[in-house]
């Protein structure tokens, strides 16, 4: 169980605090193997392989990184890097995560740009893109599973979907209205609507 | 100002805004990203945007690389850097400072309410992203079947997503989809 010793400014309860170079190399590995979401790989590296955090500490940190806006794994480079080595640690972890994928994606973009007009490549991309939308439909269904039976949550999700996908309202006004509304509804009615 | 500089500047600003709006991760922002780069700035078509998303999914690394690829497509290497820094910068600064005080609020009521309110919003946004991408990628019966089959396989089996993407690409290259 997490306790006082899991406070972020105190040393971790397990393992030895990593150096900047170790933060770089650890996240470099995650950047190279992660695909379609890198968080499971992050857990393997941070908890199982290098023991920088205990499982409970990792879960806490993950909750934070998913709670904050922005790319979750990038948030984790900040939270984890700064915890051990301050700004230099955060930067090391960030650069470790991003360097290789950044270069690879640009190389892929160059290849795509060069051969996009070749019929076989264009057709391959038609198939690839259709499967990729299957991937995100799957993701939408999976992350919505916890809403089962929570009618208030389902109502909020349907509102968000309708605003963006049906009414085509831009995201900023949608969230400026919907987030306070959702908070208010959950605050007032959560007991009544939950299972 | 050269187009590369002004496009990179616009990209950085768009992505910086999305960085704050990306609740539950980058997928939630895909509809808005598409709206900005396709409808507002006319940098590419919806089909191209969907292809870049697919390419980013098939590459190693975090999901947010779709942003890097969009930046690259719009304004080359400068655009790739501008878009990447834009999408990471604001949320990184926020994470850096919030991480230090996070544990103090771990059990606070407002945090639980906020999380319970944000989760369904994220679900709705990711469904919207799925709807946009499905619309942009299914031009005919073949692509619609690939989308449906991928969804079913990914939901019901433990087949690795990369395998599904590879099979779909091979079907397409073989001329069986379009």
Best A23, A36, A114, A131 member to test B by mutation, with max B CBs in 10 Å, is A131
Q: Which of residues 118-177 of A touch B (CB under 8 A)?
A: 120-121, 123-144, 146-147, 150, 152-165, 168, 170-172, 175
Averaged over A71-100, what is the pLDDT? 95
Query: pLDDT digits over A167-186, tens only?
Result: 999 999 999 999 999 999 99
Question: Over 70: is that where the pLDDT of A6 sits?
Answer: no
Is A36 near chain B, with CB under 8 Å? Answer: yes
The pTM assigned to this predicted structure is 0.86
**Mean pLDDT computed over A78-105:** 95
Segment among A13-17, A57-61, A168-172, B169-173 with least mean pLDDT = A13-17
Mean pLDDT, residues B31-46 taken together:
96
- Work out the pLDDT band at A195, boundaries 50, 70, 90: very low
Q: Report the distance separating Cα B148 and Cα A131, nearest Å.
A: 8
The whole-number pLDDT of residue A15 equals 67
How many angstroms separate the CA atoms of B118 and A185, rounded? 11
Q: Does residue A163 register a pLDDT over 50?
A: yes
C-beta atoms of A70 and B94 within 8 A: yes
Q: Which residues on A lie below 8 Å from B50 (Cβ)? A: 129, 132-133
To the nearest whole number, what is the mean pLDDT of chain B? 91
Average pLDDT over chain A reads: 86
Partners of residue A173 in chain B, C-beta under 8 Å = none
> DSSP string of chain B?
--HHHHHHHHHHHHHHHHHHH-TTSGGGGHHHHHIIIIIIS-SS-HHHHHHHHHHHHHSSS-TTHHHHHHHHHHHHHHHHHHHHHHHHHHHHHHHHHHHHHGGGGTT-HHHHHHHHHHHHHHHHHHHHHHHHHHHHH--SHHHHHHHHHHHHHHHHS---HHHHHHHHHHHHHTTS--
Chain A CB within 8 Å of residue B64 CB: yes
The pLDDT of residue A1: 38
Mind listing the pLDDT tens digit for each residue in B106-138?
778 888 888 889 889 999 999 999 999 999 899
Residues B62, A129: C-beta atoms closer than 8 Å:
no
Predicted confidence at residue A143, as pLDDT, reads 85
Tell me, what's the ipTM?
0.87
With bands split at pLDDT 50, 70 and 90, how would you rate the model's confidence at A89? Answer: very high
pLDDT band at A137 (very low <50, low <70, confident <90, very high): very high
Q: Which of A111, A37, A65 is nearest to B66 (CA)?
A: A37
Query: Which pLDDT score, from 0 to 100, does residue B108 have?
Result: 81
Q: Is A108 on the interface with B (CB under 8 A)?
A: yes
3-state per-residue secondary structure call for chain A = CCCHHHCCCCCCCCCCCCCHHHHHHHHHHHHHHCCCCCHHHHHHHHHHHCCCCCHHHHHHHHHHHHHCCCCHHHHHHHHHHHHHHHHHHHHHHHHHHHHHHHHHHHHHHHHHHHHCCCHHHHHHHHHHHHHHHHHHHHHHHHHHHHHCCCHHHHHHHHHHHHHHHHCCCCHHHHHHHHHHHHHHHHHHHHHHHCC
User: Which of B35, B67, B95, B155 to probe by mutation at the A interface, max A CB count within 10 Å?
Assistant: B95
Query: Inter-chain contact A73–B175, Cβ cutoff 8 Å?
Result: no
Q: Could you state, in order of their start, the residue ranges of all structural domains in chain B?
A: 3-108
pLDDT of residue B16: 97
Query: Is the per-residue pLDDT at A12 higher than 70?
Result: no
Measured in angstroms, the CA of A85 and the nearest CA of chain B are apart by 12
Tokens of B30: 């895909």
- Cβ atoms of B58 and B50 within 8 Å: the answer is no
* A34 contacts B121? CB cut-off 8 A: no
Chain B residues whose beta carbon lies within 8 Å of the beta carbon of residue A61: 99
Q: What is the pLDDT of residue B57?
A: 86
Q: Find which of A25-39, A84-98, A178-192, B153-167 is predicted with most confidence, using mean pLDDT.
A: A84-98
What was the pLDDT predicted at A2?
41
Residue B153, both tokens: 């396989």
Q: Over range A104-125, report the average pLDDT.
A: 90
The predicted pLDDT at position B100 comes to 84
Give the chain A residue nearest B126 (alpha carbons). Answer: A140
Q: Where are the domains of chain A?
A: 12-118
pLDDT at A5: 41
Q: What is the pLDDT of residue A4?
A: 41
pLDDT at B63: 85
Contacts of B139 in chain A (CB under 8 A): 126
Residue B81 Cα, gap to closest chain A Cα (Å)? 9
Q: Considering only CB atoms, which chain A residues are within 8 Å of B146?
A: 127, 130-131, 134
């Amino acid at each position: 169980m997490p306790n006082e010793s899991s406070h972020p400014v105190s040393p971790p309860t397990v393992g030895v605090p990593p150096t900047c170079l170790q933060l770089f190399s650890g996240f470099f590995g995650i950047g190279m193997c992660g695909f379609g979401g890198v968080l499971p790989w992050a857990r393997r590296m941070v908890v199982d392989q290098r023991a920088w955090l205990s499982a409970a500490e990792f879960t806490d940190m993950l909750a934070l990184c998913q709670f904050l806006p922005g790319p979750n794994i990038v948030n984790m480079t900040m939270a984890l890097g700064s915890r051990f080595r301050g700004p230099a640690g955060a930067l090391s972890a960030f650069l470790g995560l991003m360097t290789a994928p950044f270069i690879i994606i640009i190389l892929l973009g160059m290849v795509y740009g060069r051969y996009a007009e070749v019929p076989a490549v264009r057709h391959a991309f038609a198939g690839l893109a259709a499967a990729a939308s299957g991937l995100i439909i799957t993701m939408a269904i999976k992350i919505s599973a916890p809403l089962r039976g929570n009618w208030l949550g389902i109502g909020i999700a349907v509102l968000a979907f309708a605003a963006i996908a049906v009414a085509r309202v831009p995201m900023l006004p949608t969230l400026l209205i919907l987030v306070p509304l959702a908070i208010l509804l959950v605050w007032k009615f959560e007991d009544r609507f939950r299972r | 100002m050269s187009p590369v500089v002004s496009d990179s500047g616009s990209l950085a600003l768009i992505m910086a805004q999305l960085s704050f709006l990306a609740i539950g991760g980058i997928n939630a922002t895909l509809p808005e990203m598409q709206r900005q780069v396709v409808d507002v700035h006319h940098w590419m078509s919806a089909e191209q945007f969907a292809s870049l998303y697919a390419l980013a999914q098939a590459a190693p690394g975090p999901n947010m690389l779709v942003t890097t690829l969009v930046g690259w497509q719009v304004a080359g290497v400068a655009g790739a850097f501008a878009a990447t820094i834009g999408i990471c910068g604001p949320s990184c600064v926020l994470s850096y400072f919030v991480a230090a005080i996070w544990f103090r609020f771990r059990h606070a009521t407002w945090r639980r309410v906020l999380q319970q309110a944000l989760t369904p919003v994220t679900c709705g946004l990711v469904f919207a992203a799925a709807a946009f991408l499905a619309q942009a990628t299914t031009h005919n019966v073949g692509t619609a079947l690939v989308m449906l089959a991928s969804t079913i396989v990914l939901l019901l089996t433990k087949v690795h997503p990369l395998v599904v993407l590879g099979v779909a690409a091979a079907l397409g290259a073989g001329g069986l989809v379009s």
